[in-house]
Amino acid sequence: MAEIQMQTDVPTPQDGLEQTNKKCPDRWSHLYKILDRRGPFADPSFTPGHGEEILLNTCKVLVIGAGGLGCEILKNLALSGFKNIEVIDMDTIDLSNLNRQFLFRPSDVGKPKAKVAAEFIMKRATDVKVTYYHGKIQDKDDDYYLGYQLIICGLDSVDARRWINATLVNLVDGEPERIRVLVDGGTEGFKGQARVIIPTITSCYECSLDMLSKQRTFPICTIANTPRLPEHCIEWASVIQWPKERSDIKMDTDEPTHIQWLYETALKRAKEFNITGVTYSLTQGVVKNIIPAIASTNAIIAASCCNEAFKLITNAQPYLNNYMMYTGNEGLYTYTFEHQKKPDCPVCGNERVSMEVSKEITVEDFIEYLQEKQDIQLKKPSLSHANTNEKIYWQSPPFFEQKTRPNLEKKLIEMVKQDDEITVTDTTLPISLQIVISYI
């Protein structure tokens, strides 16, 4: 990749390297065959014989997430010759992680994932330096992210991925040397995807929001009045009964006694309505929104991400342009394609979004519409008039929220005329969206 700037001021674990080379001759012989020899498919900029200086000594990589994908990614990078790795994760280790997060042992339960993972990798592969940060990605600033050549993301949270994606796109700021490539992986059961995002050049994570499977939700009136499924009874226990009966205690879905209470409450309701199928495991699955996760899918997706990272950094082969989908429940299939940039993407696009809404729509309903729209999915949108800067509704700070709250009941047309533009921001995401309104 021509755009990637090599950083030469990085301290290298030279001593460790020399020691290992002595102790472990030919260690990298598999890699060097690829790195020392020209290949028919290699990028034209590939120069054989520079593997060690490019890969082994100078490249700094950031790994976001030390969970199912993160453990695999760290291992693969260490075995692919990467020597300077940082890992960020805010979680601690849970017993249910151990069926796939292979850097953790039962005695590690409760400890920070980032720390245990980093230390394990360094213990096993002695010549790699893995630093860690146990905390949120949002704690770090632009300079921090600029310090890495490549960022590999193995997260299970859509919000965190939207945040890092928007941050990296905003980082570019018109200067190509500020581009930091994002390799993103995600899994769900037997399915997953790996993709390469070159901020401002290729499509970004936000461009593809509408590809996410929609989270299953249950209408509140069904839960309250006409339950039919065991899930309806569980939602009733957690959404309606908990606040009613245990308002003094904050529900913690990691607390077994809380799940037990929800399970028993749901079971009672199910019995009353002759509904079968409420189990402890289902209760846990519904209230924690558990997504099945297995070692094999994580291995496939993480390996694909690291293969792309290796190709991006060494130029030894062309890298993925830009999306690989994987599904393994029926046979085994991948689908590789170029996901197209969305011209009106709120993060990387430069076109304004046009929306047609009813003349009757209230500000409150319009906000709800923005939250539910599959390709936008804002969490807590704040609206201002783009031309006048007048605040339509702001979620925070509390002072402005109170001041603009009366506007919620107003019709949008009272505040925004035909073809006027609204600026939408979201406190949870570093994005700003321009919407041109027309009424129907």
Query: According to CB under 8 A, which residues from 107 to 136 bind other proteins?
Result: 124-126
The whole-angstrom separation of Cα 68 and Cα 384 is 41
Tokens of 399: 């002072």
- Distance, in Å, from the CA atom of 204 to the CA atom of 167, rounded to the nearest integer, reads 11
Q: How far is CA 260 from the centre of its chain?
A: 30
Query: At closest approach, how far in Å is the CB of 281 from other proteins?
Result: 7
Q: Minimum distance from CB of 158 to other proteins (Å)? A: 18
Question: What residues numbered 23-82 form the site for other proteins, per CB under 8 A?
Answer: 23-31, 33-34, 36-41, 48, 72, 75-76, 78-80
Active-site residue identified among 221, 305, 345, 348:
221
- The smaller minimum CB distance to other proteins, of residues 39 and 243, is found at 39
Using the rule CB under 8 A, which residue among 7, 307, 362, 432 binds other proteins? Answer: 307
* Residue 303 DSSP SS3: helix
Residue 306 binds: one of other proteins, Zn ion, none (C-beta under 5 to 8 A by kind)? other proteins
Q: Please give the helix or strand (H or E) that residue 245 lies within, else none.
A: helix 242-245
Residue 330 interacting with other proteins (CB under 8 A): yes
Q: Which does 345 bind (CB under 5 to 8 A by kind): Zn ion, other proteins, none?
A: Zn ion
**Lookup: tokens for 165:** 């994606």
Q: Which residues touch 270 (CB under 8 Å, ≥6 apart)?
A: 227, 230, 233, 276, 277, 278
Contact between 293 and other proteins by CB under 8 A: the answer reads: yes
We find the least distance from the C-beta atom of residue 5 to other proteins, in angstroms, to be 24
Q: Which does 158 bind (CB under 5 to 8 A by kind): Zn ion, other proteins, none?
A: none
Left if phi > 0, otherwise alpha if psi is -120 to 50, otherwise beta: which for 357? Answer: beta
Shortest separation between residue 284's beta carbon and other proteins, angstroms: 8
Name residues whose C-beta falls within 8 Å of residue 402's C-beta, 6 or more positions apart in sequence: none
In the list 271, 332, 354, 387, the residue contacting other proteins (rule: CB under 8 A) is 332
Asked if 404 contacts 392 with a C-beta cutoff of 8 angstroms, the reply is yes
Least separation in angstroms between CB 161 and Zn ion: 12
Q: Find the binding residues for other proteins in span 167-226 (CB under 8 A).
A: 189-190, 194, 225-226
Residue list 7-26, contact with other proteins (CB under 8 A) = 20, 23-26
280 binds other proteins (CB under 8 A): yes
> Is the C-alpha dihedral spanning 49, 53, 56, 61 positive or negative?
negative
Candidate ranges 91-99, 178-186, 247-255, 384-392; the one touching other proteins (CB under 8 A): 91-99
Strands across the sheet containing 429-439? 353-357, 429-439, 421-426, 381-385, 391-393
Give which of Zn ion, other proteins, none residue 24 binds (C-beta under 5 to 8 Å, depending on kind).
Answer: other proteins
Residue 296 binds other proteins, judged by CB under 8 A: yes
Q: Count CB-CB contacts under 10 A for residue 45.
A: 8
- Report the C-alpha gap between 186 and 165 in whole angstroms: 14
The Cα 3–Cα 1 span in angstroms is: 5
Pairing assessment for the beta strands 421-426 and 381-385 based on DSSP bridges: antiparallel
What does the alpha-carbon distance between residue 423 and residue 420 come to, in Å, rounded to a whole number?
A: 10
256 binds other proteins (CB under 8 A): yes
Q: Which does 207 bind (CB under 5 to 8 A by kind): Zn ion, other proteins, none?
A: Zn ion
Among residues 24, 121, 129, 108, the alpha carbon closest in space to that of 75 is found at 121
DSSP state of 386: T
- How far is CA 315 from each of CA 36, 48, 176, 309, rounded to the nearest angstrom? 12, 10, 18, 10
User: Which CB atom, from 14 or from 333, has the smaller least distance to other proteins?
Assistant: 333
- Stretch of residues binding other proteins (CB under 8 A), selected from 174-182, 310-318, 358-366, 370-378: 310-318
At closest approach, how far in Å is the CB of 197 from Zn ion?
9
CB 58 within 8 A of CB 10: yes
Answer yes or no: 221 catalytic.
yes
User: By the criterion CB under 5 A, which residues form the site for Zn ion?
Assistant: 204, 206-207, 345, 347-348
Q: How far is the CB of 415 from other proteins (least distance, A)?
A: 29
If one asks whether residue 436 binds other proteins (CB under 8 A), the answer comes out as: no
Size of site (CB under 8 A) for other proteins = 84
- Closer CB to other proteins, residue 104 or residue 132? 104
Q: How far is the CB of 304 from other proteins (least distance, A)?
A: 6
Instruction: Cite the active site residues.
Output: 221
